[in-house]
Structure 1
Amino acid sequence: MIAEDKLLLDKAYDALHLAERRNIPRFLGFLNEHESLYLRQHLPKSADVAFYGGYPDAVRLMMGAAAEEESFPITALEFTYREQDDLRHRDFLGSLMALGIRRDTLGDILTGKGRTVIFVRDDIVPFLLSDVDKIGRVGVKVAYADADDLPIPDDIEELMFTLSSLRLDAFVAAAAHLSRDKAARLIKNELVMVDHVTETEVSSFLKEGMTITIRKYGKFVLTELRGTSKKGKLRVAVKHYR
């Protein structure tokens, strides 16, 4: 157990104990994918916890102790701008953090043409509404968003890979368009993560639902196994977050 994970687990237990003692919900987050997965795996199954990020498919999640979805302190804000201004996830994240906003107060950032919705912690809403009028050099207007009308992210693509096996080096080679030897070097050089933990074993096997992050190539989610080709190779459906 690394120090950061132990500290996170201690905070989760503190939230649980405080929620039980005071009979009010307590929250952690927003958590990244590794953090929320770690807590799911290490908190007792009987623990009264829920994970929510503001909408059903959220990636960054808050942990709530003794909490229902409607009690989570999450607000969706809409940033609008000219369609020709091609703002991306990194533009919003960089600009907001440069203003002193902590990463754990920001949930998913869903970018679209002329419109981006960001899920944020309630306590930073007044600042964002009143003080943010630019992302980088682009002028933006900030208002409350309809969480039921979210932009479809334009930085996700659906892919299909044909693999000789579900070994990590085979997947990385297909995802990064590299030879198996070069893919193996990426893995051994600690440039690949599986489910948000660095993986250096080239022969480790992947499973459906796993997330593979390759430095400089993006994040890939192995969404579904689609059987085998006529030549006996595995067909897998993949989401690529560019």
Structure 2
Amino acid sequence: MSIYQHFRPEEHDFIDQVIEWKEAVSHQYAPKLTDFLDPREQDIIKSIIGHDDDVKLDFSGGALDAECKRAFLYPEYYIPSLEDFQLKGYQLSYPEKFVQIEHRQVLGSLLGLGLKRNKFGDIYFHEKEVQLALSAEVSAFVELQFQAVGKVKVSLQEIPLSDLIAPKTQWDEVSTTASSLRLDVLVAAIYNISRQKAQLFIGAKKVKVNWKTVESTSFECAKGDILSLRGFGRSKIVTIDGKTKKDKWRIIAGKQK
């Protein structure tokens, strides 16, 4: 039985990479640290490493309940510590009494430095306080170069990882029906918009499934998928409960509070 049959075609390249990591740790008998992984990638790596006796697996994103985390694969003899994850925590200083900045602006400014998304972790907002986690290997560069968010001057102060606080994710469950499991149909049903509008959002790259932008309106969704629509928030498909008498899928979805 092929491992690939349990995953979507677009996930196969990542699966190949995980298998390479696993084999390298097993053959070289040395640990491997990954970049930041989104929760779907974490699930994939967990399912592939599984209960392997030779290769063990731990995750850390700095904060307790972090969403994006680095994975650390290691041989059974090795005892991992927090230092192995090579993480640094930061607080953003800016004139908060006079201006307001948003998550997407901080994210865009970090990417604008030429950073890849997998080199930094979650960005947390606690009212006007902004925190983030960085890979240690890019931290000196970011400290030096990250000087503005839009037109707002900013600076970074390193803080202990224990000071990073991830907000708890809460979901409101809603029940809906949909004529199919296509992405455009489900976005329309869950966010209570027209299918035409959903298609426009998808075409404009404003919709993500499992943290990846999806541009195909006919993309087939499944139980457990996390959807996000820019400006409308995040949702997840909790259950797909078969069909109604009118041949529509019964769906329980969670909408992030």
- Please name the residue that 2:256 is paired with: 239
The counterpart of 1:178, out of the listed 174, 193, 198, is 193
Deviation at 1:21, TM superposition (A): 4.3
| TM-score, length of structure 2 as denominator length | 0.67
Q: Decide whether aligned partners of structure 1 residues 191 and 114 sit closer, same or farther in structure 2, where only a CA change above 3 A counts.
A: closer
- Please name the residue that 1:228 is paired with: none
Gaps of 5+ in 1: 225-232
Query: Which range moved further: 86-95 or 116-125?
Result: 86-95
SS at match of 1:79: strand
Deviation at 1:91, TM superposition (A): 1.3
- Please name the residue that 1:6 is paired with: 12
- Please name the residue that 1:48 is paired with: 56
Q: Residue 47 of structure 2 aligns to which amino acid in structure 1? A: Q
Gaps of 5+ in 2: 240-249
Deviation at 1:26, TM superposition (A): 0.9
Q: Decide whether aligned partners of structure 1 residues 210 and 130 sit closer, same or farther in structure 2, where only a CA change above 3 A counts.
A: same
Structure 1 residue 115 and structure 2 residue 129: aligned? Answer: yes
CA-atom RMSD in angstroms: 4.0
Deviation at 1:145, TM superposition (A): 2.0
Structure 1 residue 28 and structure 2 residue 34: aligned? Answer: yes
Distance in 2 of aligned mates of 1:171 and 1:212: 9
Q: Residue 58 of structure 1 aligns to which amino acid in structure 2? A: A
Write the mapping of 1:71-220 to structure 2, written as runs, cut at 5 A: 71-83=84-96, 84-150=98-164, 159-163=172-176, 172-173=187-188, 175-178=190-193, 194-196=209-211, 207=223, 210-214=225-229, 217-220=232-235
Q: Decide whether aligned partners of structure 1 residues 14 and 144 sit closer, same or farther in structure 2, where only a CA change above 3 A counts.
A: same
Deviation at 1:173, TM superposition (A): 4.1
Percent of residue pairs bearing the same amino acid type: 21
Distance in 2 of aligned mates of 1:27 and 1:3: 25
Q: Decide whether aligned partners of structure 1 residues 40 and 115 sit closer, same or farther in structure 2, where only a CA change above 3 A counts.
A: same
Distance in 2 of aligned mates of 1:126 and 1:82: 23
Q: Decide whether aligned partners of structure 1 residues 101 and 183 sit closer, same or farther in structure 2, where only a CA change above 3 A counts.
A: closer
Deviation at 1:12, TM superposition (A): 2.4
Deviation at 1:4, TM superposition (A): 6.0
Distance in 1 of aligned mates of 2:198 and 2:93: 43
SS at match of 1:48: strand
| TM-score, length of structure 1 as denominator length | 0.71
Task: Give per-residue Cα distances to partners, 1:147-182, cap 9 Å, x unaligned.
Answer: 33345669x8854535358x8588644542225x55
Task: Give per-residue Cα distances to partners, 1:6-61, cap 9 Å, x unaligned.
Answer: 33233323333333444432111212233223323344431422232222312212
Distance in 2 of aligned mates of 1:212 and 1:4: 16
Pairs aligned (count): 229
Distance in 1 of aligned mates of 2:173 and 2:132: 29
The 8 Å contact of residues 82 and 114 in structure 1, kept in 2 or not, is answered as no
Q: Residue 62 of structure 1 aligns to which amino acid in structure 2? A: R
